[in-house]
Structure 1
């Protein structure tokens, strides 16, 4: 209010001053008055206009104002001046104005249509403000440059803007909220050098008329909803140097005519739906420096370079496609290559030895392919290499000692291959290493003591190998280490106390080895729970809740994997309980296989009321030590697990109960009501038993199962914060954008683990928001995975009214008996969950006798240009650009054609590229 009063007083004083001046025949000229009129609607906190004096005869010496030789205002430039408010229409009085630049301020409101009546304008720059409304219709025949980027301008691009554009050279409308199509009239601007329409909501195809722009050097259309096939006419833009089509919905094959863009140096086509092969003539354009073709559906063999056809190429990214065949040996001709990423494809054969000729290479990522053969020693010739990712291939043999020649190496990823032999001690020469991942191989030998030379190391993963010997105490000198995983090996001896000094450590795992002795009492290791140490029968100490003493001797080799409780002891215990309590508690056998942490117990389904009653004995299998396995804990039989007061959920598989033990530990128990296609106990145990070894942050760990002829139970982690469905559709929704994105990314990572890291892969077939459970910090955990054979038959499932809402998640091919069911069914269901999180709507809704299917509703809204209207009103204050990208990803995942859907690994990478600005206070509160 005080600010408004002060402005009012200034205005009154200003008017009185003008009256006095006019009475004496003095004061600024008409153009000066026009500029002073402009000032009235502007807030000037830093005093830019302090020198704009009404008593001056001319405004030519005012800040930001320039005049021509005739004293007429030709330029008004006040960029980055912290100005705000509205721009008055009065500026149209400056009829000789050539340059108007008000960029990087905080102006609001609509762009005055009168500005388009200043026919003398050469340059109009209103970028980086907060303008809204639509772009005024009209043309500026003298205009050379137009920049309205980074505002909140909406509506469509007026075709009139390019109807008199004979002098127009550059136009940018990027980072707005524009909808509709690109006007074909832009093809009538013969001198146009560049235009940038990126980061909007534009739809439709690229106009073929763009091929009529012979001077075009720069074209950016990234992050829109443009679709259709690329016009062949683009190839006529022979002067084009920069072309960015990424993050759209383009499809079809890349036209061979694009080879006509012979001057192109930057080509970005990632995150679309391009099909077929990549033409070699386009991939290896003669002046191309940067080529990104990732996250598409390209297939066929990777093209080989022509002779001297790729001398300029520095960055080549073809990751996340379906490229097959061998890595072309002639790639070594691209001598300037610094970055190569062909990960997540289907490349086969061995690595060509002449890769070592790429002397400038900084990053080589060939992970997640089907490469085989040995690692060539010539890989050590890549002496500029900083990142080497070869994981998830079938490469075998030894790690060549020449790896030590890569002295600049920072990331070494060779996980999940078939490597043998020992870890070469020459690795010590790579002293700048930050991450080393050699997990899931067949490596043997010992851990080199010289690894302490890698003083910057943050992550060391050697798990799931056959490494023996002791843990070198020198590892305690790696003070930057955050992740140390040595689990599932044959390590012996004690855990060195020096590891307690690793203060940065946040992940530590030495489980399932043959370690002995006491876990070091001092230092960081005491913060880790028992899961970091289990599977080492000779270990004792606080994290394992096993007291160390004179009777705690290390196990023999024969005791390492199996610990058997004698049958006679079990019979004696059982008899004593029956006689003393009159309640049958039977434990006939307990076999603890520490490799899988499996304990088998035979228990009664219920305590028989009399000796004559029929006794039903079931088999209870526990996968983890975290669940008590003593007979006292199960003396009430299965009734201890199925308290009707503790029902916490129900679904197509059955009812879920919460069971709590005396020590406070709680588990979730699902009483199965259907076995689907499972017919026998052996089938059941084979199907469920494979799931006991699966461990990931974002999946619910299966703790065990129970089988009898009358009852089947699944025992799993109890997740305390309910399901995603509860928090989205409950009475008081608690999910802001930060939490929703956190759940989306975590769920994608969990599914990617099941699809890509598990061997054999695990499919879900029942992804929905009720099966995404939330921890107290809202980290998601996927439940009911790998149970597809236990689900009801599809016809029964679809006819049951109880599961009507669930059908919104079902991929269309599931309804076709002849269709091959793949992981793309899970991708479809996950896409529905994304749409559910962004819109706040259920997958299927009944409104006034009309059924609304969420996927169809969102897709039709996009086709009508109303995509943003689908966003949950609770997210209106959140960053719309990020939300719209996730919404778009949901539509891609729910494509009707399975091959058009991305893999879950691709989904994870897309979400990580979005990188939202999460309010961590909101995301954790």
Structure 2
């Protein structure tokens, strides 16, 4: 016997008397306004194979007795206010971290949050390690002092050799105009040795900047050109139209130097920059298959959608793009020190390479973006549909959760094939997240799917849509972290 009362705005506590429904097999109470604790009596419903209490306001611990529900095939208590240690029963542990995410006060496996006892034990081990290390350091002080002069000399020599090996080119004259025009004097810095180092090669390559046929796109900070050298190598050259909050060459070079140190397979690689008093360029790898926006909304989409396999950008490829982009953002948010925020995530900034892997571009441009310097400009960007509400307010209290919001919109865009904001009529504006939420609550779920998709598992699409809605919550604290988003997406394929 199933009981599905999800999405009904139910209030109050879960009744203790549900244990009388001996033959109950499904209890779905998710997305209500229930509070109080999880009744221990639910453990008596031994025939349950589905228990979903997610997206409520439940508090207190998870009863360990629920581990006796041996027939459970689906269990979810995510996005409540539960606390305490997650029971160690294998029946519950098998559902992974996504079943418990969104409860900041929960701790223990399978979440990464350590409980108090575990932290204390780790702290004790850490103290012992520190004491031992300190003793070793004390023993080695005399040796280090004796070797200081020699080490300093060797290090200075290595630094000098490193500077000679580094591909830094200061050009005497790089002309981007026709012969006879005034040349532009500036500094060209390369982060890779794969690019040409001769002046003649760059003189030829930079002709792209005055060739309209080489124009490949534009964005919030500048125009992008494809520059090709005589050896056939192509790069993307972004000609900046704004420096945002940067005021001089030193600040610009510092920002670009930090970008050159970032490395992830799902990030577009920065390859260098150029500075002059009148022009600034950013050099990066050229990604062959264009942007996600091109595939979802551009001219190519009509040709792809004729294929019986669901088009060149099939669901499998779309999912890989979503997961790759999430991994890139998780790297920027959690692995980089200092943390790198994107603040301009949209489908046109997600590139696709030959293997249909995602390559996130325009990251690390926080200080270049005009949207952070003007409230009025922020409001105009909000109309596009990607920008989080806090970025369109006078306070501009942005954080990594602002990126999560924009990524959530991209997830909805990937599944539906619709733009974040569409205007079917002169005075009508359809906001994608509102459209999806309404259909999932009151309509047929498949109405949300892109009609060109074929050969997909419906449950996967629905889970990605729900994740997109959670990511686009108006309240930043209600949005998951990008690490949690990656875990959830990985579990979608594992469990399907």
Same fold (TM over 0.5): yes
Q: Does 1:653 align with 2:221?
A: yes
Superposition deviation, residue 231 in structure 1: 5.8
Superposition deviation, residue 708 in structure 1: 1.1
Cα distance change of structure 1 residues 635 and 735 upon mapping to structure 2, 3 Å threshold = closer
- Kept in 2: contact 1:828–1:895 (CA 8 A): yes
Secondary structure in 2 matching 1:604:
coil
- Kept in 2: contact 1:748–1:908 (CA 8 A): yes
Alignment-derived partner of residue 273 in structure 1: 79
Q: Does 1:669 align with 2:241?
A: no
Secondary structure in 2 matching 1:755:
helix
| Higher RCO (C-alpha 8 Å, min separation 6) | 2
Cα distance change of structure 1 residues 696 and 637 upon mapping to structure 2, 3 Å threshold = closer
Structure 1 window deviating more from structure 2 (232-241 vs 613-622): it is 232-241
Matches within 5 A, 1:325-364: 327-328=116-117, 350-352=122-124
Alignment-derived partner of residue 313 in structure 2: 735
Cα distance change of structure 1 residues 677 and 626 upon mapping to structure 2, 3 Å threshold = same
The two structures, once aligned, show a CA RMSD in angstroms of 3.8
Alignment-derived partner of residue 257 in structure 2: 689
Q: Distance in 1 between matches of 2:316 and 2:184?
A: 50
Q: Distance in 1 between matches of 2:131 and 2:185?
A: 48
Deviations 1:436-468 (A, max 9, x none): xxxxxxxxxxxxxxxxxxxxxxxxxxxxxxxxx
Alignment-derived partner of residue 843 in structure 1: 420
Superposition deviation, residue 804 in structure 1: 7.6
Matches within 5 A, 1:165-184: 171=1, 182=4
Cα distance change of structure 1 residues 673 and 609 upon mapping to structure 2, 3 Å threshold = closer
Unaligned runs of 5+ in 1: 1-170, 174-180, 184-201, 303-315, 330-346, 354-371, 376-394, 399-419, 421-555, 565-590, 919-925
Match of residue 8, structure 2, among 204, 210, 220? 204
Alignment-derived partner of residue 162 in structure 1: none
Superposition deviation, residue 798 in structure 1: 4.1
Q: Does 1:317 align with 2:106?
A: no
Superposition deviation, residue 251 in structure 1: 2.9
Alignment-derived partner of residue 143 in structure 2: none
Q: Distance in 1 between matches of 2:20 and 2:176?
A: 88
Superposition deviation, residue 818 in structure 1: 2.2
Alignment-derived partner of residue 275 in structure 2: 707
Q: Distance in 2 between matches of 1:916 and 1:237?
A: 28
Superposition deviation, residue 660 in structure 1: 0.7
Cα distance change of structure 1 residues 676 and 557 upon mapping to structure 2, 3 Å threshold = closer
Alignment-derived partner of residue 830 in structure 1: 407
With normalisation by structure 1, the TM-score equals 0.45
1 or 2, which has the higher helix percentage?
2
Cα distance change of structure 1 residues 246 and 626 upon mapping to structure 2, 3 Å threshold = farther
Deviations 1:417-447 (A, max 9, x none): xxx9xxxxxxxxxxxxxxxxxxxxxxxxxxx
Q: Distance in 2 between matches of 1:223 and 1:742?
A: 30
Secondary structure in 1 matching 2:398:
coil
Q: Does 1:604 align with 2:173?
A: yes
Secondary structure in 2 matching 1:789:
coil
- Kept in 1: contact 2:214–2:227 (CA 8 A): yes
Superposition deviation, residue 871 in structure 1: 1.1
Q: Distance in 2 between matches of 1:234 and 1:606?
A: 75
Q: Does 1:911 align with 2:489?
A: yes
Secondary structure in 2 matching 1:895:
coil
- Kept in 2: contact 1:216–1:239 (CA 8 A): no
Secondary structure in 1 matching 2:168:
strand
Superposition deviation, residue 643 in structure 1: 3.0
Superposition deviation, residue 732 in structure 1: 3.8
Superposition deviation, residue 592 in structure 1: 4.3
Q: Distance in 2 between matches of 1:245 and 1:898?
A: 30
Cα distance change of structure 1 residues 255 and 558 upon mapping to structure 2, 3 Å threshold = closer
Matches within 5 A, 1:797-836: 797-798=377-378, 807-836=384-413
- Kept in 1: contact 2:38–2:60 (CA 8 A): no
Cα distance change of structure 1 residues 917 and 249 upon mapping to structure 2, 3 Å threshold = closer
Cα distance change of structure 1 residues 592 and 830 upon mapping to structure 2, 3 Å threshold = farther
Q: Does 1:795 align with 2:375?
A: yes
Q: Distance in 1 between matches of 2:264 and 2:484?
A: 18
- Kept in 2: contact 1:655–1:673 (CA 8 A): yes
- Kept in 1: contact 2:19–2:44 (CA 8 A): yes
Cα distance change of structure 1 residues 263 and 317 upon mapping to structure 2, 3 Å threshold = closer
- Kept in 2: contact 1:602–1:617 (CA 8 A): yes
- Kept in 2: contact 1:642–1:659 (CA 8 A): no
Alignment-derived partner of residue 451 in structure 2: 873
- Kept in 2: contact 1:845–1:852 (CA 8 A): yes
Deviations 1:733-758 (A, max 9, x none): 23111111111111111111111111
Q: Distance in 1 between matches of 2:116 and 2:92?
A: 19
Alignment-derived partner of residue 187 in structure 2: 619
